[in-house]
C-alpha cells in the first residue's frame, strides 16, 4: 500500500507510488512532510510514518540525481571540447576525470 500525506495534519491517504513519481513530485511531497512535521501539529504516531516516507522519498531523489550525474559524465567525458555520446547505463560510473 502506498500513501501520500495531507499538507498540514499528516493524515494518511492512499496516493501515488514513489517509483511512479517525477523528481519534482517527490521533492514537493518531501517538502510537505518536513513542513508538517516542523509545524508540531502531527500526532506522534504519524511522525514515524512521515520519517519512513520521507526516507524513501529522499532515497528516490538521490537516485534520480545520481542517474543525472552519470548521464552528465557520459556527455562531458569525450575527447577535447566536443561532447561524446555513448549508451547510458544506470550503474555507477568508474570513469576517472
**Does the structure show a pLDDT above 60 at 92?**
yes
**68-90 pLDDT per residue, tens:** 988 888 887 755 556 566 666 66
SS3 category, 4 = strand
Three-state SS for 24-39 is HHHHHHHHHHHHHHHH
- DSSP output for 44-78: HHHHHHHHHHHHHHHHHHHHHHHHHHHHHHHHH-S
Give me the pLDDT at residue 27, please: 96
- pLDDT tens column, 15-42: 689 999 999 999 999 999 999 989 988 8
Q: What is the mean pLDDT of residues 42-54?
A: 91
CATH of the domain spanning 3-76: 1.10.287
Residue 20 burial by Cβ neighbours in a 10 Å radius (0-12, 13-18, 19+): exposed
Residue boundaries of the structural domains of the chain: 3-76
What does the pLDDT read at residue 82?
Answer: 60
Amino acid at each position: 500500500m502506498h500513501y501520500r500525506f495531507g499538507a498540514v495534519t499528516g493524515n494518511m491517504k492512499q496516493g501515488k507510488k514513489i517509483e511512479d513519481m517525477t523528481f519534482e513530485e517527490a521533492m514537493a511531497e518531501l517538502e510537505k512532510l518536513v513542513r508538517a512535521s516542523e509545524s508540531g501539529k502531527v500526532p506522534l504516531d504519524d511522525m514515524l510514518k512521515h520519517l519512513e516516507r520521507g526516507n524513501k522519498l529522499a532515497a528516490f531523489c538521490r537516485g534520480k540525481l545520481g542517474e543525472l550525474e552519470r548521464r552528465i559524465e557520459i556527455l562531458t567525458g569525450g575527447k577535447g571540447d566536443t561532447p561524446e555520446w555513448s549508451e547510458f547505463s544506470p550503474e555507477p560510473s568508474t570513469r576517472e576525470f
